[in-house]
Amino acid sequence: MTREQRLLAAVVEAVDTLVDDFDLIDFLHQLCDRCVELLDVSAVGVSLADPTGSLQVIAASDEHTRLLELFALQSDQGPCVEVHRTGVARLNIHLDNPEETAGFAVFAAQARQAGFLTTHALPMRLRQQIIGAVNLFDTRAQDISPENANVAQALADVATIAILQHRTIVQGNVERVQLQAALTSRIVIEQTKGILTERWQTSLDEAFDTVRRYARAHQLRLSEVCRMVIDGELDSDDLRRPDH
């Protein structure tokens, strides 16, 4: 597909959230994938605010990025934390520049150790409501183009509208219910990744990608497949069979 077609596909995916069986985690992982495809960046992470207002990592394009995002939230520093507080995007942060990383030097060092040289953070917002942040990472010391910056914010905004719209459609208080369910599902997914990584002697990313493919092929939610693996209802070897 052309870049324009992929961008349109990302918007269509957001519209598809207006259904009863909306899988928030899979939607946000798809957002990460689309951002990597469209924005010429190396990795992406998405965090959403829980009912107390604290950010929680919900999705990332790979395991290293997820752990880096967790570090940022646990240390309460980093571009995503700052952007969630201010609602103002931070672009072209060179992680080896002390002036640009003022306020999150420890996070910057951790990001450099993970192989990243540049990062950008964008708020997930609708008017005055900020529900989270999208973090873009690049292993190259290059700025994001104005065009890609606009596309990145547009994707973040569309995702925000989709999430808030779905919350409104399902029920008035679904914001708390949906996010709590997502956080619970995230725990189950992480447990399953650990189980499969140990059984298959593979990476966490490969284990997760296999579960995602199986869930999509069988039109199941990620959390459903993971619970089936944990409860022994699904043979983990079936996940890797081509005909499954």
pLDDT value at position 244? 55
Q: How far apart are CA 164 and CA 87, in angstroms?
A: 17
Cα→Cα distances 144→72, 197, 216, Å: 22, 35, 32
- Looking at residue 159, what is its pLDDT? 87
Residue 146: the pLDDT is: 92
> Which pLDDT value is given to residue 23?
81
Residue-level pLDDT at 243: 62
Domains of the chain with bracketed CATH: 3-170 (3.30.450.40), 183-240 (1.10.10)
Dig out the tokens for 48 from the structure: 């959403």
pLDDT at residue number 135: 97
**Among the residues of the chain, which ranges form H helices?**
3-15, 24-39, 63-75, 79-86, 105-113, 146-170, 174-200, 204-217, 222-230
Query: Mean pLDDT of successive 10-residue segments in the chain (244 residues)?
Result: 67 61 82 90 94 90 94 94 95 96 95 96 91 96 92 89 74 63 86 94 95 92 93 90 66
